[in-house]
Amino acid sequence: MSFSTDRPETWLACSSCGEERLETDAAVRCAGCGGLLTVCHRSPDMEGPMLRALFETRCCTRPDTPASGVWRFREVVMPGSRVTPVSHPEGNTPLLFREAIAKWAGVPDLLMKHEGHNPTGSFKDRGMTVGMTQACRVGARGVICASTGNTSASLAAYAAHARLPAFVLVPEGKVSLGKLAQTVGYGAHVLTVRGDFDACLALVEASRESLGLYLLNSVNPWRIEGQKTIVLEMLQQLGWDPPDWIALPGGNLGNTAAFGKALEEAYAWGLIRRVPRLLVVQAEGAAPFARAFAIGFRERKRVQADTVATAIRIGDPASWDRAVHAIRFTDGAVVSVTDREILEAKRSIDRAGVGCEPASAASVAGLRRLVAFGQVAPNARVVAVLTGHILKDPEVLASGSHAGGMESSVIEPTMEALAAAVELAGELRIIEA
Ligand code: F0G
């Protein structure tokens, strides 16, 4: 099918063969060729400056506007919906500057967009509010996903809010305690699979139709629409003056696809006049996309993934084609970093009082590497996206694999013991009364 005349405001199109469908179709893949479906919007009625002004009137600090940093942009996310969004709310995450981290990375003009400040502690909430709203629009009787942990926590929280039963499949022994505890706490059914994330995703994709459940992994095109708002909100915070680079971790590559789509639309609709370059960072043990980038994307790579950054422990990323498109459109780069570099970056981020989970630190580690190689100029303006909260992965701190470990000392409850411990720390500066 193709909407040749009277195009609706929003529709779905297959990113491989172009086949078009109604926006309320519950499928995530094309029935004909199996390609992933993408949400397409007609150009908004307003020009760029008017659209920017509209988003400005909905700034989060005003009491009379939607509190969500996702639904503030609804004209370019899900304009046609009449249902009340399933919103906690989410978004409105800070853009942080810390001199110590900028110095560590080698870029003085480095800001961090901290998506760990979302309600369940990761960027997934931005996609989930839109995906769960779509689940309600299509009358889903339940929802399902495969996850390395953050998607499951987010799905569980939003499904509870929407009063829908939720099922999550997670790889055995490879999900951090913080994420599992959240998912169970929010009331989802957790199924631990004897296999890795790639096996979990293949299983939910194959079964979701026969089970009659709505699939909410980032292969779902509405997840991508929500995650676009990380970029839109960042651009708004920067007065619509884009940075030179945006660095982000890459796993299943849904976020890479979302960032590329956000930038392509923002440019086409006059919200920005220049397109920033995307820097996607993978862990060396889970870097099929970085390997393919190194050979000009001539072939698709798959690997058996392993890394300390369990969130991005993915060997066969689902959003491959749209991520390749995002890198090409933004003249971007893809790089991999070792677990050691990830943990060093995390230490720098944690010690600055910002904190993040290991996968998030990959963005700063990758940036440092490209600065060292001269591929990112030291005077570049860069935003690194921190995708998850420090409390997501307490084991990595406790295990000591975080350079330095927990560094906690046990003392007797006496003033002498306390004084000795403070003396031992030896870091006290004189505080003037
Ligand atoms: N950072 C964090 C903290 C994540 O949880 C993920 C993905 C990524 C980065 C990578 O994003 O997949 O869009 O390239 N986590 C998924 C999950 C896979 O199940 O929670 P991506």
Q: Please write the tens of the pLDDT for every residue from 113-132.
A: 999 999 999 999 999 999 99
Pocket flag, ligand 1, residue 133 (CB < 6 Å): no
Pocket flag, ligand 1, residue 330 (CB < 6 Å): no
The token pair at 373 is: 């190689």
Across 61-91, b (16+ Cβ under 10 Å) vs e yields eeeeebbbbbbbbbbbbbeebeeebbbbbbb
Pocket flag, ligand 1, residue 359 (CB < 6 Å): yes
The answer to whether 285 touches 277, Cβ cutoff 8 Å, is: no
The token pair at 227 is: 């995650």
pLDDT above 60 (res 402) = no
d(CA 352, CA 403): 15
Q: Please write the tens of the pLDDT for every residue from 247-275.
A: 999 999 999 999 999 999 999 999 999 99
Pocket test for ligand 1, best of 227, 387, 390 (most atoms within 8 A of CB): 387
pLDDT above 70 (res 88) = yes
How much is the pLDDT for 98?
98
The token pair at 56 is: 């400005």
Return the closest-CA partner of residue 66 out of 79, 53, 85, 80: 85
Pocket test for ligand 1, best of 122, 230, 337 (most atoms within 8 A of CB): 122
**316 membership: H or E segment, kind and range:** none
d(CA 373, CA 382): 16
Q: Which of 55-59, 80-84, 175-179, 185-189 has the lowest mean pLDDT?
A: 55-59
Q: Cα(150) to centroid of ligand 1, in Å?
A: 7
Whole-prediction pTM value?
Answer: 0.95
Measured by CA distance, the residue closest to atom 6 of ligand 1 is: 311
Q: Which of 11-15, 225-229, 401-405 has the lowest mean pLDDT?
A: 401-405
How much is the pLDDT for 433?
45
Q: Cα(142) to centroid of ligand 1, in Å?
A: 22
Triad 299, 341, 94: Cα angle to 5°: 95
Pocket flag, ligand 1, residue 226 (CB < 6 Å): no
Q: How far is CA 5 from the centre of its chain?
A: 36
pLDDT above 70 (res 111) = yes
Pocket flag, ligand 1, residue 366 (CB < 6 Å): no
Pocket flag, ligand 1, residue 310 (CB < 6 Å): no
Measured by CA distance, the residue closest to atom 7 of ligand 1 is: 311
d(CA 36, CA 33): 9
The answer to whether 142 touches 165, Cβ cutoff 8 Å, is: yes
Measured by CA distance, the residue closest to atom 19 of ligand 1 is: 147
Pocket flag, ligand 1, residue 357 (CB < 6 Å): yes
Q: Cα(65) to centroid of ligand 1, in Å?
A: 30
> To the nearest whole percent, how much of the chain has pLDDT over 90?
87
- What's the rounded mean pLDDT across residues 296-318? 97
Mean pLDDT for the chain overall: 94
The token pair at 265 is: 């639309």
- What's the rounded mean pLDDT across residues 297-315? 97
Q: Please write the tens of the pLDDT for every residue from 347-394.
A: 999 999 999 999 999 999 999 999 999 999 999 999 999 999 999 998
The token pair at 246 is: 């945006």
Which of the pair, 143 or 403, is modelled with greater confidence? 143
How much is the pLDDT for 131?
98
Q: Which of 57-66, 283-292, 332-341, 354-363 has the lowest mean pLDDT?
A: 57-66
How much is the pLDDT for 424?
85
- What's the rounded mean pLDDT across residues 317-324? 97
pLDDT above 50 (res 25) = yes
Return the closest-CA partner of residue 236 out of 120, 372, 369, 76: 76
Could you tell me the end-to-end alpha-carbon distance of the chain, in angstroms, rounded to an integer? Answer: 75
Q: Cα(246) to centroid of ligand 1, in Å?
A: 16
Q: Let me know how long the chain is.
A: 433
Name residues whose C-beta falls within 8 Å of residue 122's C-beta, 6 or more positions apart in sequence.
Answer: 115, 116, 150, 153, 154, 357, 387, 388, 389, 392
Query: How does DSSP assign 371-424, residue by residue?
Result: HHTTSS-TT--EEEEE-B-GGG-HHHHHTS-STT--------SSHHHHHHHHHH
pLDDT above 50 (res 46) = yes
Pocket flag, ligand 1, residue 307 (CB < 6 Å): no
How much is the pLDDT for 409?
83
Q: How far is CA 256 from the centre of its chain?
A: 8
- Atom index in ligand 1 nearest the CA of residue 360 equals 1
d(CA 323, CA 202): 19
